[in-house]
Copies of this chain bind each other. A is one copy, B any other.
Amino acid sequence: MLFRQLFDSQTSTYSYLLADRGQAVLIDPVKEHLDTYLQLLSDLDLQLVMALDTHTHADHITALGDLREATGCNTGLGQESQTRCVSFNFHDGQSLAFGGRELRVLHTPGHTHDSYCFLLAARGRQPAWLFSGDTLLIRGSGRTDFQNGSARQQWSSLQRLLDLGDDTLVFPAHDYKGWTCSSIGEERRHNPRLQVANAEEYAALMDGQHLPPPRLLNVALAANRACGRL
Q: Which residues of A contact B (CB under 8 A)?
A: 3-9, 33, 36, 43-44, 124-126, 177-181, 186, 189-190
A181 contacts across to B, CB distance below 8 A? 3-5
A178 contacts across to B, CB distance below 8 A? 6-9, 33, 36
The copy count of this chain in the complex is 2
Residue of B nearest to A183 (CB): B2
Q: Which 7 pairs, one residue from A and one from B, show the smallest C-beta to C-beta distance?
A: A7-B178, A43-B190, A5-B180, A6-B178, A8-B178, A9-B178, A124-B125
Whole-angstrom distance between the alpha carbons of A177 and B189 in the complex? 33
A124 contacts across to B, CB distance below 8 A? 124-125
Closest Cβ of chain B: how far from A3's Cβ, in Å?
A: 8
Whole-angstrom distance between the alpha carbons of A177 and B3 in the complex? 17
Whole-angstrom distance between the alpha carbons of A180 and B181 in the complex? 12
A36 contacts across to B, CB distance below 8 A? 177-179
A3 contacts across to B, CB distance below 8 A? 181
A189 contacts across to B, CB distance below 8 A? 43
Closest Cβ of chain B: how far from A7's Cβ, in Å?
A: 4
Whole-angstrom distance between the alpha carbons of A178 and B177 in the complex? 14
On whether the beta carbons of A7 and B5 are closer than 8 Å, the reply is no
Whole-angstrom distance between the alpha carbons of A189 and B178 in the complex? 29
Residue of B nearest to A39 (CB): B190
Whole-angstrom distance between the alpha carbons of A9 and B181 in the complex? 16
On whether the beta carbons of B43 and A6 are closer than 8 Å, the reply is no
The listed residue (B125, B180, B186, B190) touching A7 by CB distance below 8 A is B180
